[in-house]
Amino acid sequence: MSIPRLKTYLSLFAAVLMLGQVATAAQAEALPDFTTLVEQASPAVVNISTKQKLPDRRYATGQMPDLEGLPPMFREFFERNMPQQPRSPRGDRHREAQSLGSGFIISSDGYVLTNNHVVADADEIIVRLSDRSELQAKLVGTDPRTDVALLKVDGKNLPTVKLGDSEKLKVGEWVLAIGSPFGFDHSVTKGIVSAKGRTLPNDTYVPFIQTDVAINPGNSGGPLFNMNGEVVGINSQIFTRSGGFMGLSFAIPIDVALDVSNQLKKDGKVSRGWLGVVIQEVNKDLAESFGLDKPAGALLA
């Protein structure tokens, strides 16, 4: 091979290498970098654990009533064949149920947002911060219809999240969740917004944000962030047929959650107005029955 031809081949090879490096760099720039977002947002994300006393039904069948007042013959029979189990002072036995969830601090003086189902009926609520310190939380109020709960812990200068506008969120946008799935604190998962305004059975008050962000037990109540590091939703539930994550997760829009939390903070409850109409989306069957060219609009009743 002649020297000029060899130089030509080497030049072409170098050009191909440079093009490959440029393409790789462009691909890397196109992929989102979550590291800064996670570093800034994680300190305001908390783990929530609850304790609840429940009647222990394991002792219900074997526990005999007091024997005082029974005829001697019956009392002797029960004492001989079914000795009494020791009773608690009130005659009750309890077991302690524990649950885990997530939440996030929205004010430096200690207000925390989470899901209602994370703290419902809890006798004790513990909030664990990112530095592993634990604070006992007071339940300010809950709203089961939107699955939002507001907690308060005693603290000053606590880290807080940035609050965004869920109305500006677009389908296809990158989003990120931080929470405690199965108790693993500050686990990070990411995905995109799959749809907005989803209505789920028995949840007519919430226009859910649908995403494909991996959500598991323990993520409930945790924040959903946009790429600006702003909270745009509260991770609430998943759709599953297996019991595990199947790519369908739903978050409460932060605009809805803040409206609820403001009312809970002010009044301890949520007040709603009633319009007296039922709105139903027009599907194909309804469109055909009304003689419409295509399914569009809504049916008011």
The DSSP H or E segment spanning 281 is strand 279-281
**Residue 31 placed within a domain:** no
- Whole-angstrom Cα distance, residue 46 to residue 105? 7
pLDDT attached to residue 20? 56
Average pLDDT on 213-234 reads: 96
How many CB atoms within 10 Å of residue 61? 6
| Cβ atoms 221, 115 nearer than 8 A | yes
Which of residues 248 and 21 earns the better pLDDT score? 248
Both 112 and 172 in one domain: the answer is: no
Both 132 and 174 in one domain: the answer is: no
Both 149 and 45 in one domain: the answer is: yes
**Residue 178 placed within a domain:** yes
Both 205 and 134 in one domain: the answer is: no
Average pLDDT on 138-166 reads: 96
DSSP alpha helix (H) spans, the chain:
3-30, 35-41, 72-81, 116-119, 254-267, 284-289
**Residue 29 placed within a domain:** no
The CATH number of the domain holding residue 47 is 2.40.10.10
**Residue 175 placed within a domain:** yes
Element counts in the chain: helices (H) and strands (E): 6, 15
Which of residues 67 and 118 earns the better pLDDT score? 118
Both 192 and 243 in one domain: the answer is: yes
Give pTM, 2 decimals. 0.73
Band (140; pLDDT cuts 50, 70, 90): very high
pLDDT attached to residue 10? 52
**Residue 137 placed within a domain:** yes
Question: Is the dihedral angle over the CA atoms 155, 160, 166, 168 positive or is it negative?
Answer: positive
Both 284 and 262 in one domain: the answer is: no
Both 203 and 252 in one domain: the answer is: yes
Both 111 and 179 in one domain: the answer is: no
Both 99 and 193 in one domain: the answer is: no
Which of residues 133 and 73 earns the better pLDDT score? 133
pLDDT tens sequence across 259-279: 999 999 999 888 876 666 666
**Residue 241 placed within a domain:** yes
**Residue 30 placed within a domain:** no
pLDDT attached to residue 200? 85
Band (98; pLDDT cuts 50, 70, 90): confident
Q: Which of 153, 184, 200 is the last residue of a domain?
A: 153
Both 47 and 131 in one domain: the answer is: yes
Domain count, the chain: 3
- Whole-angstrom Cα distance, residue 292 to residue 22? 54
Mean pLDDT (the chain) is 82
- Whole-angstrom Cα distance, residue 128 to residue 6? 67
Active site amino acids: 117, 147, 220
pLDDT attached to residue 271? 84
Both 114 and 169 in one domain: the answer is: no
The CA distances from residue 60 to 63, 85, 93, 95, 237, in Å, are: 6, 11, 9, 13, 34
Statement: residue 4 has pLDDT above 60:
no
Band (56; pLDDT cuts 50, 70, 90): low
**Residue 68 placed within a domain:** no
- Whole-angstrom Cα distance, residue 165 to residue 230? 8
Which residues contact residue 174 at a Cβ distance below 8 angstroms, ignoring those fewer than 6 apart?
32, 190, 191, 192, 226, 227
Statement: residue 151 has pLDDT above 90:
yes
How many CB atoms within 10 Å of residue 226? 23
Q: Which of 153, 187, 203 is the last residue of a domain?
A: 153
235: containing domain? 162-267
User: What percentage of residues in the chain have a pLDDT greater than 70?
Assistant: 72
Both 262 and 196 in one domain: the answer is: yes
